[in-house]
Structure 1
Amino acid sequence: MLHDADLHPFPSTVPGRVGGHRRSKIYGRLSCPTALRAIAAGGYVAHRVFFADEQAAIDAGFRPCAVCMPAAYSEWKARTTAPKTPPGITPERAAGSVPS
């Protein structure tokens, strides 16, 4: 069973390429060591979801796992922690390089 961007399950003859955790909104490889440890401990399976690919997980609002997808996680982190410029203010003016 795969999940769409609204987390609705749908049947598929093709297995998902990434898995995620519904509560933490994190997706990663099916072989992720952190996810496999959580599954072995029994506390993860009830909230597990599967996506056809990374884009489907992103569309559903999930972020990449820092353990099994470090490059994708770094890119996500850089995008989400970039300083925000208020509307109507250019980045140069916000940085103080343009006189008022």
Structure 2
Amino acid sequence: MSERSENGNLRKSYTLLGADKKFYKSETPGTYGGHKKTKVYGRMDCPAALRGIAKGGYVKERVFFADEQTAIEAVFRPCAACLPEKYRIWKTLQAGQ
């Protein structure tokens, strides 16, 4: 998405999801992507997410995060496909609860 700056020039803006689960505009793109319904976050080049995007169904539920910590604070879990070690740690912690 683009919007005009104070001097009238076009500048790109991105809609990111914050730790408070509210959307906000940013001049910097997100570094992690997520899926709203499944509450999963992962890398922007995640093969599972790219497959879903190619099929067309994933795009409507896609969200973006400024960083990994924000995704975690928004209560999203790591993707098993692109973040397998972090997913294993998350799964182990879940089993211990």
TM-score by length of 1: 0.80
Q: Which runs of no fewer than 5 residues in structure 1 stay unpaired? A: 85-100
| AA matched with 1:77 | K
SS of 2:42 mapped into structure 1: strand
Q: In the alignment, which residue of structure 2 is the partner of 1:48? A: 62
Q: In the alignment, which residue of structure 2 is the partner of 1:7? A: 21
The CA deviation string for residues 11-53 of structure 1, in whole angstroms up to 9 with x for no partner, is: 1111111000000000000100000000010000001000011
1:6 Cα shift?
Answer: 2.9
Q: Which runs of no fewer than 5 residues in structure 2 stay unpaired? A: 1-14
The CA deviation string for residues 46-74 of structure 1, in whole angstroms up to 9 with x for no partner, is: 01000011110011110000000011101
Identity across the alignment (%)? 54
- Is 1:17–2:31 an aligned residue pair? yes
Q: Structure 1 runs of 4+ off > 2 angstroms?
A: none
- Is 1:67–2:81 an aligned residue pair? yes
Rg: which structure is higher? Answer: 1
Q: Which has the higher helix share?
A: 1
Paired residues in the alignment total: 83
Alpha carbon RMSD of aligned pairs, Å? 0.9
Q: Which has the higher strand share?
A: 2
